[in-house]
Structure 1
Amino acid sequence: MRNRALLAILVGVVVGILVGDWRVGVTAGVIAAILDTVYRARSNSTVPAWRRSSIAERRTEAQLRKLERNGYRTLHARAIPDSEAQIDHLVVGPTGVYAVDSEKWDKRLPVRVQMGKKLFHGPFDMKPRLTEAKWEASRASELISEAYGKEISVVPSLAIYGPPVPWKIMTIRGVDVYEGARARKWITKRERALTKAEIDRLHDIASRVLPARYGED
């Protein structure tokens, strides 16, 4: 709020001096404040501030927010206890439970697959990233299932932004890989499996067993 006021005053003074009319300066200051308010509102994110450096995560979050009207609930930046690993987005909804890791890759390097089980980004073998994503989802499944009292499968995925992905959805080493813009469709295309009561309970359990990174919620 303070920064916005300073911006309005600065713009108003500069414009007023340039055009020689203080009334025009005041108008310009008000317009600058309004534009700043709109920009900040559109840039607002439920991902904690320390995570906002990731454009990929914000883009995925924007997609997942649209699912709320259909009964989906999402947790962002969830830590795997006793590890450095993190699930960028954990989604619980009518079609199941999903772990989405948002990836921003160099768009100049192609994405390709060899023999159906090796993912490459240019010359780089992405096996370690697939292994990590699969482990994160597996560990989340174990923790949620134990607290829920029933086995719950958490489906792992990589949502890739940057280079084009030459397929719609492909499962590689147990991880679904797709272009980032497909995240929402990837989740909703499956059959309904959970009731609202189950969704609410699983969401509450997940928020407890998978704490927000650095204790932020």
Structure 2
Amino acid sequence: MATQAPGMSDQIAAQSVIEELLRLQQAVPPRSGFARFWGYSPLGADSVAWYRGAQGEIEVGRILSRLPPEWRVFHALPIGKAGADIDHLVLGPGGIFTINTKHHRGKKIWIAERTIMVDGHKQPYLRNSKFEATRVTKMLRERMPQLPPAQAVIALVGPGQITIKKKPDEVRVMDANDLRRWLLKRPVSLIEADLVDLAAIVDAPATWTALTSGPTPSLMAKFAVIDGEFRTARVRRTVWKLLRIVSLTAILVIAGPSFITAVFQDFLAPH
């Protein structure tokens, strides 16, 4: 019995990022029982950014999964060379959207017409997102010339503070929590018949620059193991930190004000 070749709709959110994370983690020795006890992170130094990236794309994938059924969502679409991909491509009545996920939990984001800065560091996000949308527009119009241009979107996951000096003209930047509502408010530009044809084009692996075998069944399970170990390590580090604070506080309380005064006097006394 012949099996159907996987389509791009079989790709999962953060697929390529998780694959790279797992590849990097193969070179990281398992943490010892002692290290796990004290809450050492299971991630290698090179793995941290990929882990954070996977978290962000998975979160945006969850948000997009709550769109109505007339919307189609694709993830991790390979484009260009050197393993580049489009995090999320969304097709719906409101148009075509290339969504670039950036996970910057707690960071200060500063946005101007041509610049995005994260905690004071300039990032090429606007340029890259615009390039993705332009490339997708060109690819899809080769098959359906009447299509509207793809809209570039940057979805920020967990930002601390967002300061907008001036909105960029060609790229929409927003908190990922606002993404679904914003998409649903876009004016209608595609009818259902066009969406059906467009989704078929996007779903075909031959449309893209690299063939895909689809996600392995254990991909998310392997990520879940790493994610669980990371979260457990973080909790343990927090517990040990709290215990140190409690212990120090108890010592100071038991010792009393006279002990604290004596320590400061000895510290300030000339030697």
Please, which of 153, 156, 159 is the counterpart of residue 157 of structure 1?
153
Q: Is the 8 A contact 1:130 1:173 kept in 2?
A: no
Q: Which has the higher relative contact order, 1 or 2, with Cα contacts under 8 A spaced 6 or more apart?
A: 2
Q: 1:143 to 1:185 in 2, by over 3 A?
A: same
Q: Is the 8 A contact 2:108 2:162 kept in 1?
A: no
Between the aligned residues of both structures, percent identity stands at 22
User: Residue by residue, what CA displacement relative to the aligned partner does 1:145-164 show, whole Å, maximum 9, x if unpaired?
Assistant: 10113243110011011323
TM-score between the two structures when normalised by the length of structure 2: 0.55
Q: Equivalent residue of 1:147, what SS?
A: coil
Q: CA deviation at 1:139?
A: 0.2
- Tell me how far apart the structure 2 counterparts of residues 60 and 148 of structure 1 sit (CA, whole Å): 28
Q: CA deviation at 1:132?
A: 0.9
Q: For residue 108 of structure 2, what is the aligned residue in structure 1?
A: 110
CA RMSD across the alignment: 2.6
Gaps of 5+ in 2: 1-10, 19-50, 216-271
Query: Which structure has more strand as a fraction of its residues?
Result: 1
Q: 1:202 to 1:165 in 2, by over 3 A?
A: farther
Q: 1:50 to 1:82 in 2, by over 3 A?
A: closer
Q: CA deviation at 1:83?
A: 5.6
Q: 1:179 to 1:84 in 2, by over 3 A?
A: same
- Tell me how far apart the structure 2 counterparts of residues 91 and 204 of structure 1 sit (CA, whole Å): 13
| 1:67-216 alignment runs, 5 A limit | 67-69=67-69, 71-82=70-81, 84-107=83-106, 109-114=107-112, 116-126=113-123, 128-166=124-162, 171-172=167-168, 174-208=170-204, 209-210=207-208, 214-216=212-214
Gaps of 5+ in 1: 1-44
Q: Is the 8 A contact 2:129 2:154 kept in 1?
A: yes
Number of aligned residues: 168
Q: For residue 9 of structure 1, what is the aligned residue in structure 2?
A: none
- Tell me how far apart the structure 1 counterparts of residues 84 and 75 of structure 2 sit (CA, whole Å): 13
Q: For residue 12 of structure 2, what is the aligned residue in structure 1?
A: 46
- Tell me how far apart the structure 1 counterparts of residues 211 and 59 of structure 2 sit (CA, whole Å): 19
TM-score between the two structures when normalised by the length of structure 1: 0.68
